[in-house]
Amino acid sequence: MKWPNFRWLAPALMLLGGCALTQPASARNISARSTYVTPALWTVKDADTTIYLFGTVHVLKPGIDWFRGGVKTAFDRSDELVLEIVEPEDPHALASAMAGTALARDGVKLSDRLSAEERTKYQTAMTAYGLPWQAFEMFNPWMAGMALSVQPLEKLGYKADLGAEKVLTAAAKASGKRVGALETVEQQLGYFAGLPMAQQVKFLTTTIEGLPDMEKEFASLIAHWRNGKPDELAAEMNESLEATPELAQVLLIQRNANWAKWIKQRLDQPGTVFIAVGAGHLAGKDSVQDQLKALGVSSLRVKQ
């Protein structure tokens, strides 16, 4: 079997909890040197309902000004913000949920699931990024894989509180908009927790193998997003899943299909909704837009 390159799954689906915004969206670290960018935006409409579809990036560096122009106009027109999940108000609740879901029920230590060579590379990588590998011994491999996908990005200057979901949530609360979700925290954690152990180990080891190239490759993803090039972004984020159709079915295709059904049903209710989900879900084959088309619902790219 050709194993997929897992290392971009965690940044795409990661729950970046524990870093709540401390500033309102109007003071979101936009400076005079900020670069205005135009990520892709779509709309789904009927006679009395408008639904905007916006692809997000969960961590960003300062100086990227995306929340104005067409995106801000669409958000301001909306009555409700809908995200993949709504993080708990208490950051400790999310951490507790992650830890509980990741706990190895068979009592096998994480390091014991790895070969001698894999174990050495794993412990070296964890130590290099300030993650105590001993504290992860009680967890399943996906937990360490996610930690090693996020911690390096933080060291490279990417910040969770500048991620699109954080900014949008703060803006929605400030303006009194309703905030809803397509999934629960438990559902999202379950996608990783449900991976067979062999795939969890491979997720961890390939994440470690990709660490030297993480800065370049993640910067490429961000560049496609900020330039409004969803097809290029999808090719990098989703192509690896083609090697394991079962995994693609769980992590992308089925979720996109579920969200498309939700959107179609939501069209029966008048109003304007701003939906923000990971950008990889809104691009490429079997995207949310493709799933909507299969249901007889058309989507249109918004010109910006």
In a domain, 122, yes or no: no
- The answer to whether position 164 is within a domain reads yes
Query: Is position 186 within any domain?
Result: yes
Residue 300 pLDDT grade (very low, low, confident, very high; cuts 50, 70, 90): very high
Sequence-separated (6 or more) residues with CB below 8 Å from residue 291: 256, 257, 259, 260
**Residue count of the chain:** 304
Name which of 289, 285, 286 is nearest 302 in CA terms. Answer: 289
Q: How many CA atoms lie within 13 A of 133 on its CB side?
A: 20
Q: Does 127 fall in a domain?
A: no
Residues spanned by the domain of 97: 6-22+29-102+157-198+220-301
What pTM did the predictor assign? Answer: 0.87
pLDDT average, residue stretch 144-163: 89
In sign, the C-alpha dihedral spanning 261, 263, 175, 189 is positive
Taking alpha carbons only, the member of 224, 248, 208, 10 closest to residue 117 is 208
Report yes or no on 204 lying in a domain.
Answer: no
Q: Is residue 211 part of a domain?
A: no
> By percentage, how much of the chain surpasses pLDDT 90?
55
Q: What is the DSSP letter of 271?
A: E
| Residue 11 is assigned to a structural domain of this protein | yes
Q: Which residues are 301's β-sheet partners?
A: 42
Strands 64-65 and 300-301: unpaired
Q: Check residue 138 and report its DSSP letter.
A: T
In-domain check, residue 188:
yes
Domain count, the chain: 1
Q: How confident is the model at residue 87 (pLDDT cuts 50, 70, 90)?
A: confident
Closest alpha carbon to 276 in 265, 293, 264, 263: 263
